[in-house]
Structure 1
Amino acid sequence: MSITACDVLVVGAGPSGSLVASELHRLGVEVVVLEQRADASPGSRAIGVHPPVLAALEAGGATERILAEAVRIPRGIAVAAGRTVGEVRFDRRPSRFPFVASVPQAVTEAAVAAYGPLPVRGVRVVGVHPTPEGVHVHALDADGASRTWFARTLIVAAGASGRRLLSGLFTGRSRSYPDRYLMTDLSAAPGQPEGTAVITLGACGVAESFPLPGGRRRLVARIASDPEHPNAERAAGDGERLAEAIATRMLAPALAAHVAEASRFSIRRVLLDRMVFAGSVIAIGDAAHEVSPIGGQGMNLGLLDAATLAPVLAQARRGPHRDRQRRSAPDGDGSHRAALARWERGRLASARTAARLAAFNTSLGRPWPRRLASVSAAALDAALRTPLAGLPERAYAMGFDRAARGAADRLP
């Protein structure tokens, strides 16, 4: 059986995998990407690209490509008990990009992959075996034929399937939430404020409206879940349920009238205890940490994993000791091991912060007790009129991510 050798092998051609491969390729590192999907259709539907990510993607040209098709969201408002109780202004933050760029995930994937290597598609990885020299990766192609790669470094960016692949190497913690949501994208959104995300909170649970390019909107609403009668939920029709939620919670019947169908999703939190195994196997993106999409930081976490990992790996391949390193153990010399450990600590800390924020967002979006809804709305309104208002602006712009504290997000 023949073995294909490469310097870095990436499993997964989603946003994180495509970006790390593109950045490594741009920095002169040999990289191969394997992808199970036969085509480039996105595996999820994330839309928001946050300021630190836009800054991190600039060097490779992806930011320009994303912004060419994105709508910019400089502000968001929170509505409760029929009135606006808070405002988050990204354009008040000292950032190179004082907004969230809203764009379909397919555009983001294409932008970060534009100058990277073409993925080898239709390949399902079935085994990973680290050795002192590197990593053997066993896979099956679309015809069921067995294939093997050998790489000095393996990067797993394949989401939940990647975690299953690495179950013998990494440990972590997982939690499934009972919350259920409906979502749809509308081609027209009458009455919605331009460039503004609208979050409605209260006695019935959260309803959200996010701008999309071309005047379109994404709508999301939390729904009640009856675990004893799950089919009864679907019998009412997901589109009708979402339309009712938008009409009653957001007081927007004209907007609700445009809802014809909806898809549902649930949420979970997964945090691995580490992201690097033996210096040669690295997990990034949802393979390493999965957080609630409520708040829109999951894809961004993975993109920052990739953007910050690529220079660490590329540095190990540079300098006068490059040839010696190619013949040495896969984790390179002590300085590379230390740099990789610093990267891991920073990304794990950022993932934990994002997970806590996502958990808070999830709790805030649950139904408020009716007798306390007005009181809670007033308390939220009062809090957001104090200096505390700067905390949500920083949090929702990913300002607490470790990567946002470095040079990537400095003003020019």
Structure 2
Amino acid sequence: MSDATDEVIPLDDGGQLRRVIIPRSVADADAADFIATVEARNTVSREITGTEDHTRTAAELLPHYRPDAYEVRHLWLVQDAAGNAIGRVGVDIPLETGSTVAYAQIELVRDRWGRGIGTAAHALVERTARAHGRTVLQSWADHPDAPGERITPPTGYGSIPLDHAARFYRRHGYTLEQIERCSAYDLAAPREHLTELISTAQTAATGYRVVQWMLPTPPERLDGYAWMKSRMSTDVPAAALTVDEERWDAARVRRHDALWVDGGHRVLVTAAEHIRTGELCAFNELVRGDTPGAVTFQEDTLVLETHRGHRLGMLVKCAGLLRWRNIAADSPRVITYNAEENRPMLDINEAIGFAPIMYDGAWKKSLV
């Protein structure tokens, strides 16, 4: 769904918000706007984190913006009066049956704060969500630690500083619902520690074995992987956030795999298989792009509820990290995100050696 009035929106300072047409390739003549949004995104990431850890190339991100049957992604480039890229705006619309939620993203370089650009962008976000019939807006933001007043979500777990981003969300009617801990693991840490943890986990995981594959997923693993991916939308702590139950099948797994592989990523899936039934019942994903020295991201990790209590989370995480050292030997660290109330998973991470480096706030606004 697209409103022609939202193709180009003038800003009071002479700049504009311009809808981005998603190109087939970053080498195409019409890719300039998309590339500019990625450059603005990376500038914002550097300003917030002080590192290159979260930056991406346009080629890595492009597959995630191509249209498909599972979500609609709207993207706008923010430009100043001279035509410089100073930010980006996104609205993601999941297409699950009965979905009421839209996901918002507003990123603006720091020296353009306080000029009303974010407010104009948010009006566009809200208008787009309403046009799709959505009644809930949700958004995530990084909140590096800082002195001063802090705020706590209703869960009671964790706190973040009342910083620029937090004030922006509050001013536009959002409430802080959850805090996620961003943690990092040094891939140069002693290998022996992982082998000790795996040995202990294997003792508790009698009746299970580790299976691993690189994407794309082999045919014999498609159905089991699909079921585990579907449980990520139901079985992880979500506080009072609105979360659609996702339906996954072999076709959706193939689409998921293509998003990563087509962007040049290497992805290792480490799973636990119940030997007697052949059921896949726990998994962990490690992902990195093809830029030399790029950090690794630990994406989804889950143990199915009916198989918890057998140290399977520790088993798949440690087995993945051990193999990953051979796959991506130049990657310096692994970064992961977990809800602050997800103590079982945080216990595993802390035992492995993950340490907190930053926190994310999950923000929610009702549109009714």
TM-score class, shorter? under 0.3
Structure exhibiting the larger radius of gyration computed from Cα positions: 1
1 or 2 for the larger relative contact order (CA 8 Å, sep ≥6)? 1
TM-score normalised to the size of structure 2? 0.24
Q: Tell me the TM-score normalized by structure 1.
A: 0.22
